Structure 1
Amino acid sequence: MDASAWDLRYTEQPQPFGRTPNATLVAALAGLRPGRAIDLACGDGRHAAWLADRGWQVDAVDFSAAAIEAARAAGQEEDHRTERIRWYVDDALSWDPPTRVDLVLVAYLQVERLDLALGRARTWLAPGGRLVYLGHARENLAYGVGGPRDAEVLPTPTSLAAALDGMQIETLHHVVRATGAGDAYDVLAVAGEFEG
């Protein structure tokens, strides 16, 4: 997948996923104390905006320049978001943050080497930080709707457990998400480093 396909999508259909954050992520993140966060593969910034509205300082990264431009434009409507979000047009698989953070959010990053992306992301966490992943699950191929139709980019709870090996896993399970076309199956993982 290259950035030009996503640029076209965000240009032809602004806010293709809506303006509101994913309800599963809202529930997973609501109890966390605001600090510094990364929204990796942020798309047009709906989760970064939600975090900023709750007091987080956010570095939001996506390889689609059109998505980042849309996110910046939406953020200009809210002065506090402009101060709390730094936008980066960059590849989620090679970008490095300027500092360690309290939260790395990875929502619907569907790539073949997700384990490598999550392995890099965990090194960005400050002590006590959390890594939160939500994505289309491989089980959609047999039971659900939506998401990519390529098994290589669809994680399972087992593959996520392997990618997070050595971390303290707080949550790892399927989530059923109702859509107009039927139920979609996502997989949610929340993990932090063990503290000794």
Structure 2
Amino acid sequence: MGERRAEDRVRPPVSDRVLTTPNALTVTRILLVPVFLWLLLGRRDELAAFWVLAASAATDWLDGAMARRFGLVSRLGQLLDPVADRLFVLSTLAGLLLAGIVPWWFVVALLARDFWGVTELLRLRGRGLRRLPVTFVGKAATFCLLSAFPLLLLGHAVSGLAAGIVRSVGWAFGWWGLGLYWVSAIMYYVQAQQVVRQDPR
């Protein structure tokens, strides 16, 4: 009983509420995707695109922190948040690639990880798994990537010594994000093999 109460304190209850501030922030992050792409590729305003991208990245941290702090964790939020993360990462990668800010091999390495995740999930749907579990490593990878993208964009928008420093920090986050992204894939694979052993159909 004591262990169960301790677990309840660590994991806030999940509600069926839809209209919550964290959910609104997640939806805002999704809606800012076309705004970012228009500013970067349409208007070619890299500095304005940076501020939109930075605001979008901030909502990823803020919605989760608010949900846990104020007990606003919801099933809709658990569904929307990873979707918003993937949409944000993929659209930002596409924009930065087309703008010549990130190389194609970096994009391919990240897309290959996402492609593997989709195929693995399709393989396990017959065994009752509807989505890949969210792990700390996966969230850390997303945090690094969401930090890297605005910094790489800012390093391209400014000039001089500051540009070199910002780009270096941005690529540091980018390399960490890419590495952790694939580490989380390995962790998902190990968990998937456990599912297969439990249900070898």
Indicate the TM-score class for this superposition, using the shorter chain for normalisation: under 0.3
- What is the TM-score of this pair, normalised by structure 2? 0.24
- TM-score normalized by structure 1? 0.25
Identify the structure with the greater strand proportion: 1
Which is higher, the Rg of structure 1 or of structure 2? 2
